[in-house]
Structure 1
Amino acid sequence: MRAVSEQDIRTSFVNCSKGEAKRLPMPRDLEEVRWEDLDFLGWRDLSAPDRSYIVTELHGELTGITLRFPSQQRGFLHRSMCSVCLTTHPGNGVSLMTARKRGQAGRDGNSVGIYLCTDLDCSLYVRGKKLPASGRRFEESLTLEQQIERTRGKLAAFLELLAA
């Protein structure tokens, strides 16, 4: 992913108002982000534990979305798989996150959901730069480049659903 500024991020959001985008919190470590390791920038809202944000490039345009997820806790023995990076996590490591659709559909309350790593570090898991709580990922026959492309494609497909 290319480096982006706070202003770029705020103007990229497609499923919230401009006022909401102005008020949402930015990642605290934006200046220290290793952009070359990311397929998308994702962060949680520390003041609202049920909210997260993702910014990525879609069709050459910077696209940001707001997400919500349940705060209920699951048992540590429960395992789930992220739909984007295919990493499995115990307990609350994966959450069903929902995003309001764009335009009138979103204002009417329509949304779409996807199972994502709760910490939104999918890019790091795929690249082996971060390990899940289980300590390892499944071995795959795909190359790293193919896994990265699959991750980008799955996220892009989800973002496309917001406009449908």
Structure 2
Amino acid sequence: MKIINRQNILTNKQIESVIKLMGKDYQPKKIFVYETRFDLIRYYPRCFNFSLEEFRGELEGSYDPDEDTVYLCVFAQTDDGDDVHSKQLYSLHALAHELRHRYQYVNNRLFHDDKKSEKDADNFATNFINRNSRKISKIMGWSQEWTVEEED
């Protein structure tokens, strides 16, 4: 797995350790981590796939099955201001969400209804993060456990 990442918010080692908790079906060929909008432009020659929605911060990430690549938009995580732990936590949630789409694709478990696919990915990501909060806190070097609260 190749990770393109400036490593200011999440390190490659942290990403690899979290994915290892998920299992092999969740490991893509590549992950691009966009810490800032500028990263979208910086990596543009190597990553031809980004949308205006991603640039505006309206998407937290996406999965491209043709390239088996996950794109993670860390800069879209602004719920709690600039708190780095919150940004890390919700970026990991977005990563788990996109990796669930990879799992759906690789295992032919796609839903005919996009809303069901999104709901499944959201539920998976929230349950994964909360179920593994102790291990994730250790991987991330946090002094306390954090959990994800879903908004409706």
Same fold (TM over 0.5): no
The structure richer in helix per residue is 2
Q: Which has the larger radius of gyration?
A: 1
